[in-house]
Amino acid sequence: MQSPYPDPTGEDESQSITNRRIQRLSLHLTPNYPQPKNDATHHQLQLLECAKAAMLKVDTDSLSNYLRGKHKDIQDRVLDYFNNRPDLQTPLEILKDDHRELCMRQLVALVRDAGIRPFRYVIEDPAKYFAILEAVGSVDVSLAIKMGVQYSLWGGSVLNLGTKKHKDKYFDGIDNMDYPGCFAMTELHHGSNVQGLQTVATFDPLTDEFIIDTPNDGAIKWWIGNAAVHGKFATVFAKLMLPTHDTKGVSDMGVHAFIVPIRDFETHQTLPGIEIHDCGHKVGLNGVDNGALRFHSVRIPRDNLLNRFGDVSRDGKYTSSLPSINKRFAATLGELVGGRVGLAYSSVSVLKIAAIIAIRYSLLRQQFGPPKQPEVTILDYQSHQHKLMPMLASTYAFHFATLHLVEKYAEMKKTHDEQLVGDVHSLSAGLKAYVTGYTAKSLSICREACGGHGYAAVNRFGSLRNDHDIFQTFEGDNTVLLQQVAGDLLKQYKEKFQGGTLTVTWNYLRESMNSYLSQPNPVTARWESEDHLRDPKFQLDAFRYRTSRLLQSVAVRLRKHSKTLGSFGAWNRCLNHLLTLAESHIESVILATFIESVQNCPDASSRAALKLVCDLYALERIWKDIGTYRNVDYVAPNKAKAIHKLSEYLSFRVRNIARELIDAFDIPDHVTRAPIAMQSDAYSHYTQYVGF
């Protein structure tokens, strides 16, 4: 078998730093890396080989430039502005009401004083908008959410669901913060099931108005950002009811969006017929004023209907370019996917900060050591590497995947291509669910990796975890979103066998489904060399094989159970299988994007570092689901063992460039703000904080 590790011949014995590291590692880590047969000296030289292999030089500046791209300058403007404004920095201990007012002042100052106008980029340059959102979230996650409510949700609903008359009337006020607003979709009884909303908007042809009503407690609009304190307007989602001359009296035209003023523009008092209550203190994001709205026969002009996909004339006639309620509903929600794109992108930003804090601390902290020798850095322990290095690899993978999503979203906004709209809708659902779920788990791992010091609020894991936790729920519950992905996969599966055209994200299914239907190759199932295991084709084929296998098997199960349980019962019976399928597909997309990003990197040293990180991401994921591959003999037992050992070895190598990899994120100390992660004299920062 070809050795996966470099020959030690030519190692410079004068490198004292390398020798000291070898001595430490030989006593503490002793990972069992694969050995070629008939090489009696290989065992003694393993760690020497590892040290040599790990001497990868990384040009941090080049890698950082590749990661941050063309919007680095606008992000630096945001970060520098808040760094130079201590009065706008969120203190560690702050009351809910004070936090809300500070958050509003931060957003107004960003727009009016710093001159950064995010709303102008929502449509014309979404990538720039999301770059600003990422930087703002580094200042305070509550501020990012408040900005998202104002511009992505309230402002985005006007731009995406309205027509020219709405843009002309509201754009400037939304842009300059004169018109703070809300996005009133969620109700007490309905969140994910938007078509089940109960709020009604009944047209009155006598007065040319819509009457907005909350028919019962379950229809109260709930968790509405900006509603409790600051909002003056709300985009209210309600069933549009038109009067008819039949026995029913009204006709339900489906859920539409309406602009409803909720507070007096001069006095800021609640307007007649509108009832507003505060949702109170939350687990996190207490800088956002979430409230509940009830409407008592609130009248609004007919022009306040956001009428891009459906309109009502003066005489009460309904017109739409889309033929059915379902198609209008799909078009409406399709225009609102920007929120999911933003959450996936912002979640990666939170993960970066948490990873930086945990890894910097782990590079600094020393515990235990050989007798009469210095203590060992905790990141030199294999168990710590196992916690943090695959997470760092995933952070890089998610960075490129969400950038890819932003690019596709920006293209969709320009072209309005129907196929691309469907692709972005499913991809944004899957990445939002997968990335936010992973980040939520990783925040706890990072806290634990920093021991007791990770529990200090000043080191930020608590606030990051609390603020981020809701990312798994709003803009679509993660479990529901993954079901959307699974549903789209099954639709594509059906198209494949009917000879239809697959959308771009699913193109791989045509080839990999054919591979699945044939038997695994008994030769390739046993290849164990490093070149083979680090070959992007092997890695991507393995990911896609798993997805194809899950897709074919769940399709068979659904067909079987539908005969006795019906479609709904069959879906529920196979639900866990469907969720696994969706996650597998998203992992395939993430890996494909990562591989392409590695290949496109222009700097050789950065490309080598990214290749190493990408290989760790791929092999660690394959190993985590090795049972799937073994069950069908996709990999032989010895190959499975080789995958495991190589992934451990790659984790060790990534550890040796971990500092450069986190530095390439280019997130300064005044953004991470954790004393245990300061790049210089961290312990002094920490002791000063507690008063020494």
| Burial bucket for residue 73 (CB in 10 Å: 0-12, 13-18, 19+) | exposed
Q: What is the average pLDDT value for the chain, to the nearest integer? A: 88
- Domains of the chain are 60-172 (1.10.540), 182-318 (2.40.110.10), 332-667 (1.20.140.10)
- Residue 365 has what pLDDT? 87
Q: Looking at the predicted structure, is the pLDDT value of residue 95 above 60?
A: yes
* Angle of the 382-415 helix axis to the 126-139 helix axis, nearest 10: 140
| Cα 610 from Cα 278, distance rounded (Å) | 47
Would you mind telling me the total number of residues written for the chain in this entry?
692
State the pairing for strand pair 233-243/200-204: parallel
Residues with catalytic roles: 475
Q: Cα 483 to chain center, whole Å? A: 17
Q: With bands split at pLDDT 50, 70 and 90, how would you rate the model's confidence at 632?
A: confident
- More confident of the two residues 689 and 562: 562
Q: Nearest Cα to 358, choosing from 131, 71, 677?
A: 677
User: Quick one: what percent of the chain has pLDDT higher than 90?
Assistant: 72
Q: Looking at the predicted structure, is the pLDDT value of residue 24 above 80?
A: no
What is the mean predicted confidence (pLDDT) over 408-414?
92
Of the listed ranges 37-41, 92-96, 256-260, the one predicted with least confidence:
37-41
Q: Looking at the predicted structure, is the pLDDT value of residue 522 above 90?
A: no
Q: Looking at the predicted structure, is the pLDDT value of residue 357 above 70?
A: yes
Q: Nearest Cα to 609, choosing from 552, 529, 663?
A: 663
Q: Looking at the predicted structure, is the pLDDT value of residue 37 above 80?
A: no
Beta strands, E only, 320-407: 366-367, 376-377
Q: Which residues contact 30 (CB under 8 A, 6 or more apart)?
A: none
- Residue 418 has what pLDDT? 81
Whether the CB-CB separation of 527 and 2 falls below 8 Å is answered with no
Q: Looking at the predicted structure, is the pLDDT value of residue 455 above 60?
A: yes
Q: How big is the CA angle at 43 (ends 40 and 47), to the nearest 5 degrees?
A: 145
DSSP state at residue 246: S
Q: Looking at the predicted structure, is the pLDDT value of residue 30 above 50?
A: no
What is the mean predicted confidence (pLDDT) over 375-385?
92
Tokens 């003023």 sit on residue: 261
What is the mean predicted confidence (pLDDT) over 223-241?
97
Global pTM value: 0.88
- Residue 25 has what pLDDT? 43
3-class DSSP assignment, residue 152:
helix
What is the mean predicted confidence (pLDDT) over 325-354?
90
Q: Looking at the predicted structure, is the pLDDT value of residue 275 above 50?
A: yes
Binding site listing for FAD? 186, 225
- Residue 14 has what pLDDT? 41
Render pLDDT for 153-193 as a digit per residue (tens, 0 to 9): 999 999 999 999 999 999 999 999 999 999 999 999 988 78
DSSP conformation letters of 350-370? HHHHHHHHHHHHHHH-EE--S
Please measure the distance between the N-terminal and C-terminal CA atoms of the chain and give it in whole angstroms.
59
State the pairing for strand pair 181-184/233-243: parallel
Beta-bridge partners for 50:
none
- Residue 324 has what pLDDT? 86
Q: Looking at the predicted structure, is the pLDDT value of residue 416 above 60?
A: yes
Q: With bands split at pLDDT 50, 70 and 90, how would you rate the model's confidence at 249?
A: confident
Binding site listing? 186, 225
Q: Looking at the predicted structure, is the pLDDT value of residue 32 above 80?
A: no
DSSP conformation letters of 228-241? TTT-SEEEEEEEEE
| Cα 361 from Cα 418, distance rounded (Å) | 48
Q: Looking at the predicted structure, is the pLDDT value of residue 512 above 80?
A: no
3-class DSSP assignment, residue 292:
strand
Render pLDDT for 584-629 as a digit per residue (tens, 0 to 9): 999 999 999 999 999 999 999 999 999 999 999 999 999 999 999 9
- Residue 577 has what pLDDT? 97
- Residue 49 has what pLDDT? 47
**283-312 burial, b for 16+ CB within 10 Å, e for fewer?**
ebbbbbbbbbbbbeebebebbbbbbbbbbb
- Residue 19 has what pLDDT? 53
Q: Looking at the predicted structure, is the pLDDT value of residue 15 above 70?
A: no
User: Quick one: what percent of the chain has pLDDT higher than 70?
Assistant: 86
User: What's phi and psi for 669, nearest 5 deg?
Assistant: -60, -35
Q: What's the half-sphere exposure (Cβ side, CA atoms, 13 Å) at 218? A: 6
Q: Nearest Cα to 226, choosing from 170, 270, 278, 161?
A: 278
What is the mean predicted confidence (pLDDT) over 216-240?
97
* Angle of the 575-600 helix axis to the 478-497 helix axis, nearest 10: 80
Q: With bands split at pLDDT 50, 70 and 90, how would you rate the model's confidence at 58?
A: very high
Q: Looking at the predicted structure, is the pLDDT value of residue 683 above 80?
A: no
- More confident of the two residues 24 and 218: 218
| Cα 313 from Cα 318, distance rounded (Å) | 7
Whether the CB-CB separation of 312 and 305 falls below 8 Å is answered with yes
- Of 20-29, 270-279, 365-374, the range with the highest mean pLDDT is 270-279
Q: Looking at the predicted structure, is the pLDDT value of residue 7 above 50?
A: no
- Residue 510 has what pLDDT? 60
Q: With bands split at pLDDT 50, 70 and 90, how would you rate the model's confidence at 503?
A: low
What is the mean predicted confidence (pLDDT) over 11-19?
46
DSSP state at residue 574: T
Of the listed ranges 35-49, 172-186, 238-252, 429-443, the one predicted with least confidence:
35-49
Q: With bands split at pLDDT 50, 70 and 90, how would you rate the model's confidence at 372?
A: confident
